[in-house]
Amino acid sequence: MTPLTSGPRQILTALRERPGTPLSGEILSERLGVSRAQIWKHVGILRKHGYSIEGEPGGGYRLLGTPDRLYPCEIEAGLGTRWLARRIEHLEETPSTNQVAFDLGREGAQAGTVVIAESQTAGRGRLGRSFFSPPHQNLYSSIVLRPEGTIADTPTLILGAAVAVAETVAEFLDDDSAVEIKWPNDVLIRRRKTSGILMESSAEGTRLAFAVLGIGVNLNVDREIFPDEFRRHATSLSSELGRPVDRVAFTRRLFENLETQLDRHSAGGFEVLRPRFESFFRMRGEDVGIDEIGGSSLSGIARGIAPDGALEIEVREGPRSGEVVRVMAGDVTLAKPRAASSS
């Protein structure tokens, strides 16, 4: 589906300004400075995009319904950000939004450029895992970032993104206690994963050229259609709420929360985000296993989050028993996870 051009978008804006009130082709023609025949063509384009527009001879046009699509014009309507998502590239399908955003970053796309797809055929998670991406049900997005500093300064950006996702999920659930962050970046609802975050970067020496932050959130997918390997440990926001989620409203709010957390990170680093991250961190005191990047592994008790975002683990066995070690990157498993709710 090709993006909406300025003409159809202007008509959409005009119809939204007068909800429930028909606008005549003559009024729209004068407002846009085009012929009534062109207005009719623009309305036809909107209908092809899924907008329900009533139109009768002499009765004018009236917007009756909007499609369940993450079109830029839908997200931008009422979006309260300054720099994030001010350019949105919408795709019906792509192998990976991260790859598209990475290409845009190399081409010089400004910070805050967003790529959104209705479906991914090769969605990626951390450590090379796949991300289940059925069409028209969830959020698959990637954001181009251009943070200042070196590569060493950027790993905690993903922790800030996890805070933004957790806050947004908690807002829609109206329940902070049901939401948690499994270090470093998975957002869970009642111990089932609902979101994954992936960050990739391009460097010039020790300087970061740009980063791409990929965020996938399970919104309206039915838990029963998850592949077997995901079903036990995954969920969606709608499955937990018992009703569908407005994907546009969720996406808009997520971008607002994400901009806030990224701005805070830029101003003060992870330390200013740490209290909020820890409010969603519920692993403290639990037995965990860590497969560190590089091949080593360890197990112990999660003790907390260090000022630089590292996970602190008290080793339970072996020659290092009792020692608190810092893990900067790895895959965490809960050795004795709490039972997930059946809701």
pLDDT average, residue stretch 271-287 = 93
pLDDT tens-digit profile of 19-78? 888 999 999 999 999 999 999 999 999 999 999 999 877 789 999 999 999 999 999 989
* Average pLDDT taken over every residue of the chain: 89
Could you give the C-alpha distances from 111 to 204, 235, 250, 325, in angstroms and in order? 17, 31, 21, 35
The candidate with the shortest Cα–Cα distance to 70, out of 117, 24, 104, 36, is 117
What is the CATH topology of the domain spanning 287-334? SH3 type barrels. (2.30.30)
The DSSP bridge partners found for residue 202 are: 210
Rounded Cα–Cα distance for residues 58 and 42 (Å): 18
pLDDT for the residue 290: 83
Alpha-helical regions (H) of the chain: 6-17, 25-32, 36-48, 72-76, 97-106, 157-173, 228-231, 237-241, 247-268, 270-279
pLDDT average, residue stretch 289-296 = 71
The DSSP bridge partners found for residue 326 are: 312
pLDDT tens-digit profile of 212-255? 999 999 999 988 787 777 778 899 999 999 999 999 999 999 99
CA R_g for the chain: 23
Could you say which architecture CATH assigns to the domain 6-65? Orthogonal Bundle (1.10)
Looking at the predicted structure, is the pLDDT value of residue 171 above 50? yes
Pair of tokens at residue 120: 């991914």
Domain residue extents for the chain: 6-65, 72-279, 287-334
Total number of residues shown for the chain: 343
Could you say which architecture CATH assigns to the domain 72-279? 2-Layer Sandwich (3.30)
Angle between helices 25-32 and 36-48 (to 10 degrees): 100
pLDDT average, residue stretch 320-330 = 84
pLDDT tens-digit profile of 90-122? 999 999 999 999 999 999 999 999 999 999 887
Specify whether the CB–CB gap between 218 and 237 falls below 8 A: yes
